[in-house]
Structures are given as C-alpha cells and as structure tokens.
A and B are shown apart, each in its own frame.
Chain A
C-alpha cells in the first residue's frame, strides 16, 4: 500500500516523457487559408517556422524566379503571405524555433533543406536511394514520407 502513490507518480512521469517525445516534431499548421492555398498550389505549403524571416523576405520578394519557375502573384496576396511568414518565422517571437539552430541573425538560407537542423535530422536517417525514389521526386516533397506534414506533424520518422 505505501507503494501506491509512488506508482502513480512513476506512471505519470513516464507518460509525460513519452508525450514530450511523441510531440517533438510538431509545427503550427498554416492558419491563413490564402497562404495555405497559394503556397500549397505546387508544393506542400511549408510551415513558416522552418526558415528565418530574412529567408522568407528573399523568397517571397522574388516569386517571378521561384526555384526555376514563375510563381508570381498579385501584390495584395504577396503582402498577405509576407506578413504571415514574418509573424511566424523561425526567429519570430521570444524564443527562436529549432530551425534557428546553427544559424545566426544574418543567415538567410533559401531552402529549408539547407538549414543545419534539417540536414542533421535527415542525413543519417534517410538513405540516398530513398531520395531517388520517383514517388519522392524532390526533397521539397515532405509528405512523401511525413504523411501528416501538411498538418505540421513530422513525428512519423
């Protein structure tokens, strides 16, 4: 009987730890429907938390030359998308997100796949042949492996 409270505490602690582990790679899904639709037309709409504000400025500021294609939009839509990415970038808010690891205030990588955090998370775990799979096609195709990436859930790795 004296063991009873100890058991409860132990179980609670195990649950807390396992929940934290499961919810490790979660990002707020895109809340703005215009951002979700326009950014998601050709590729998965990447969560803004995955690049610093400076990166998004460069990318959204040159949509006519968007990774080899013209992805231009009307000025109002561009302004709306810029604001959403500024408000939710990896370095927005009080605490920087994990995608700022290895980056400093001046860094502005143009690809999520070029950030030290992304590279570290993928380079040992994902074999080269997985990237060559025609169903994957591009490193920008998060949902090929992370089925719930659209909802900001990358825990299935």
Chain B
C-alpha cells in the first residue's frame, strides 16, 4: 500500500469518525426538546395561564440562593458553580460535569434521570418539588448554554 493510499484511508476514517461524533449533538438536543415538550404539556394542564418557557427565568432559578431546603445545599450553584459551563463538585468531593447542554450533550436524554435529579435537588435546595414551569424554564436555560 502506498503512502498516499494510507493517508487517504486515515483522512476518510477521521472524517467519518468526526461526523459520527457531531451527529450525536443534534440528536441529543432533540431528545432534550422532547423532555421540555413533556413539561410544557404538564404546565398547560395545570391551567395557570401558561404561555411559554423562559430561559431568563431558568437562569434566575439556577443563580438564586433560596436556602429553603437542607442547610448544606442553599443553592444550585453551591455544587454546580455559578457558571453553567463550569465543572462542579459534590459535597463529597466528586466532580460534576457541566450543566450546559453544549458542554455535556448527553445530560438531558433520559426522562427517569431528569426526574430523579429534579426531585432530589429541588427537595434539597428548595425544600419542595419543582413545578413543571420551573423544570421547563431550567431546561430551556441549560439548552441555551
């Protein structure tokens, strides 16, 4: 096999690998939108005059310090840092992958996983479950980051 043949093979492999990798991005984002859609249906069903999710309200929720739940977790940012693209740290010292969709593209795919962490962390930080409006706002904000 000549040098050029090998080089061509390597380039083809690199291009194929690259496109396979980037192709996951839109698929992940679409699955995240499906989950946002699910919360939209729930929010509408509450009949409280729901209009649309807001990334800005999501940002405020993420950045706030409600300190209304458990004492060791006064805010989202206590563990996730104030930057959605930042690497967080649990109280036990373990790294937390960034919340921003652009940094952790496969974070918002699985319904059960999303619901599990909303239940746990809303209880820990807010002392109650989050509403469908809060969940949709939060995901809309993270999808924009």
Which A residues lie at the B interface, using CB under 8 A?
Answer: 42-44, 64, 67-74, 135-138, 140-141, 144
Contact = CB atoms under 8 A, between A and B. Distances in A.
Contact of A43 (B71, B90, B121): B90
Given A44-B94, A137-B92, 11 more contacts: A42-B90, A42-B91, A42-B94, A43-B93, A67-B91, A68-B72, A70-B120, A135-B93, A136-B93, A140-B93, A141-B93
A133 B70 CA distance: 25
Given A42-B94, A141-B94, A69 B124 contact: yes
Contacts of B93: 43, 135-138, 140-141, 144
Contact of A68 (B91, B94, B119, B120): B91
A70 B92 contact: no
B145 interface: no
Contact of A70 (B89, B91, B121): B121
Interface in B44-91: 69-73, 89-91
A42 B72 CA distance: 14
Contacts of B72: 68-69
**Which 6 A-B pairs give the minimum distances between C-beta atoms?**
A141-B93, A43-B92, A137-B93, A68-B72, A70-B123, A140-B92
A98 to B, nearest CB: 23
A71 B73 CA distance: 13
Contact of A69 (B73, B94, B112): B73
Contacts of A74: 112, 116
Given A70-B123, A72-B119, A137-B89, A43 B94 contact: yes
A77 B26 CA distance: 31
A137 B123 CA distance: 23
B92 A138 contact: yes
B70 A69 contact: yes
